Amino acid sequence: MAALSILWIAGQMFGLHIPDYEAIGWYLLFVCFVFFLVQTTVVSWLGVAGMLLFVLVFFFETPLLGVPPELLPAFSRRFLYDWLPLRFAFNIFP
């Protein structure tokens, strides 16, 4: 539901032109659901260590996803960027 409300806020309140609300809404809903499943599985499997793992991933993920992969250093590209779960959500955008 959060994905659909973000889509509505972007389209209605900020006035962004969104060509296909339905397709983008379903995509965002799918991405959120898959992320929920991954996070729930890891935390159920590892417990508190799984939460620590996700905190570290989010700490390193946010700055790396804002940079095009071609501009990243070799270490960041090979060992960090390739293991980020949310990069698949960012790959749909050109």
| Each residue's pLDDT tens digit, 1-26 | 677 787 888 888 888 888 888 888 88
CA-to-CA separations, 42 to 10, 69, 84, in angstroms, rounded: 31, 26, 14
Structure tokens at 27: 């995509």
The pTM assigned to this predicted structure is 0.64
**In the chain, % of residues over pLDDT 70:** 95
Given a contact cutoff of 8 angstroms between Cβ atoms, the answer to whether 25 and 19 are in contact is no
Given a contact cutoff of 8 angstroms between Cβ atoms, the answer to whether 21 and 28 are in contact is no
| Each residue's pLDDT tens digit, 36-53 | 898 899 999 999 999 998
